């Protein structure tokens, strides 16, 4: 966002792109990566929140404001990585997504196409862009250097849940994309990892239209629940493995969450 924030590539061992970076899992991941000494490009729709992160984190973080479903914003993330940090991204975290409460019978489908576009179509576009770039990079860099695509799925993308089955369907699709991409580019030195979190307390519940009673029941039945930092720890574990070690899939739940 700030034009004069240009850093030397020598300062940062890795460069990361994180979508949905202004809150929850995305924001916690940004902070974790900056603490590691990485240069980070973060995308979100809130200019105010990205601005605040830039001021707090300094030259290590650069915010790209806009809707990730727009091709121009997607392209900008990869361009800005090179402009700001003088080398291409070697970590991409596909985190942006939106929930949709309700069962198959009762879910409000007036926003389903919007959820599908964000959760599946834009994720696929991001994966394609990242994979093409990273395969080219790893042709000469592997096994001395790692390249990571980390995809945020969900426990409901593996275990069907009546209270969010329609949202879960989008995550089933994302899980399929993650496994297909892993098989395609893993042999070429690019790690593709799926993280499947359980219930994480964030703005996600409000955006999904979950009732206060439902969230309260989550706390009663499964609490203490996760916050973004708990999932960011798993993401950080994945990307800090040696280049020849590939963590394909991590499912992470609050201890008391038995299902989904």
Q: What does the alpha-carbon distance between residue 243 and residue 65 come to, in Å, rounded to a whole number?
A: 31
User: What is the arrangement of strands in the sheet containing 91-94, beginning at the earlier edge strand?
Assistant: 61-65, 39-44, 15-19, 91-94, 148-152, 191-197, 249-252
Instruction: Give the pLDDT score at 202.
Output: 72
Residue 4 has pLDDT above 60, yes or no: no
Question: Tens digits of per-residue pLDDT, 148-190?
Answer: 999 999 999 999 988 889 999 999 999 999 999 999 999 999 9
Q: What does the alpha-carbon distance between residue 143 and residue 16 come to, in Å, rounded to a whole number?
A: 19
CB 34 within 8 A of CB 26: no
* Both tokens assigned to 147: 């390249």
Instruction: Give the pLDDT score at 115.
Output: 95
Question: Tens digits of per-residue pLDDT, 117-159?
Answer: 999 999 999 999 999 999 999 999 999 999 999 999 999 999 9
What's the mean pLDDT when you consider all of the chain?
Answer: 93
Q: What does the alpha-carbon distance between residue 53 and residue 4 come to, in Å, rounded to a whole number?
A: 16
Q: What does the alpha-carbon distance between residue 8 and residue 172 come to, in Å, rounded to a whole number?
A: 40
Q: What does the alpha-carbon distance between residue 25 and residue 67 come to, in Å, rounded to a whole number?
A: 18
Largest CA distance in the chain: 55
Question: Tens digits of per-residue pLDDT, 193-252?
Answer: 999 999 998 765 555 556 677 677 788 889 999 999 999 999 999 999 999 999 999 999
Q: What does the alpha-carbon distance between residue 253 and residue 222 come to, in Å, rounded to a whole number?
A: 9
pTM of the entire predicted model: 0.94
Which residue in the block uniquely carries the two structure tokens 């830039």? 54
How far lies 128's CA from each of 134, 136, 142, in Å? 10, 13, 19
* Both tokens assigned to 111: 């926003």
Question: Tens digits of per-residue pLDDT, 35-54?
Answer: 999 999 999 999 999 999 99
CB 74 within 8 A of CB 104: no
Phi, psi of 136 (to 5 degrees): -60, -45
Instruction: Give the pLDDT score at 206.
Output: 57
- Domain regions of the chain by residue span: 9-252
Q: What does the alpha-carbon distance between residue 2 and residue 59 come to, in Å, rounded to a whole number?
A: 10
Instruction: Give the pLDDT score at 144.
Output: 98
Q: Which ranges of 59-105 would DSSP assign to H, the alpha helix?
A: 71-85
> Which CATH class, in words, describes the domain spanning 9-252?
alpha beta
Phi, psi of 252 (to 5 degrees): -135, 125
Q: What does the alpha-carbon distance between residue 170 and residue 177 come to, in Å, rounded to a whole number?
A: 11
How far lies 187's CA from each of 49, 154, 183, 225, 240, in Å? 38, 25, 7, 37, 19
Instruction: Give the pLDDT score at 212.
Output: 75
In sequence order, what are the beta bridge partners of 44? 65
Q: What does the alpha-carbon distance between residue 49 and residue 57 come to, in Å, rounded to a whole number?
A: 12
């Amino acid at each position: 966002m700030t034009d004069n924030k240009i850093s030397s590539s020598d300062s940062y061992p890795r460069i990361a792109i994180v979508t949905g970076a202004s809150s929850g899992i995305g924001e916690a991941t940004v902070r974790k990566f900056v603490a590691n000494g990485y240069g980070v490009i973060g995308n979100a729709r809130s200019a105010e929140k990205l601005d605040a992160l830039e001021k707090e984190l300094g030259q290590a973080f650069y915010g790209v404001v806009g809707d990730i479903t727009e091709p121009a914003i997607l392209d900008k993330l990869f361009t800005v990585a090179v402009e700001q940090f003088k080398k291409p991204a070697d970590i991409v975290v596909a985190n942006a997504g939106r929930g949709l409460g309700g069962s198959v019978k009762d879910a409000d489908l007036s926003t389903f196409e919007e959820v599908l576009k964000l959760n599946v179509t834009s994720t696929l576009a991001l994966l394609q862009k990242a994979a093409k770039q990273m395969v080219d990079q790893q042709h000469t860099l592997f096994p001395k250097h790692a390249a990571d695509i980390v995809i945020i799925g969900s426990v409901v993308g593996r275990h069907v849940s009546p209270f969010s089955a329609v949202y879960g369907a989008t995550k089933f699709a994302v899980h399929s994309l993650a496994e297909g991409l892993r098989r395609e580019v893993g042999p070429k030195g690019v790690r593709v990892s799926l993280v499947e979190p359980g219930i994480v307390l964030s703005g996600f519940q409000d955006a999904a239209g979950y009732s206060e009673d439902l969230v309260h029941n989550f706390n009663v039945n499964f609490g203490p629940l996760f916050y973004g930092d708990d999932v960011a720890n798993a993401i950080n574990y994945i990307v800090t493995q040696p280049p020849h070690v590939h963590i394909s899939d991590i499912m992470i739940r609050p201890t008391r969450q038995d299902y989904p």
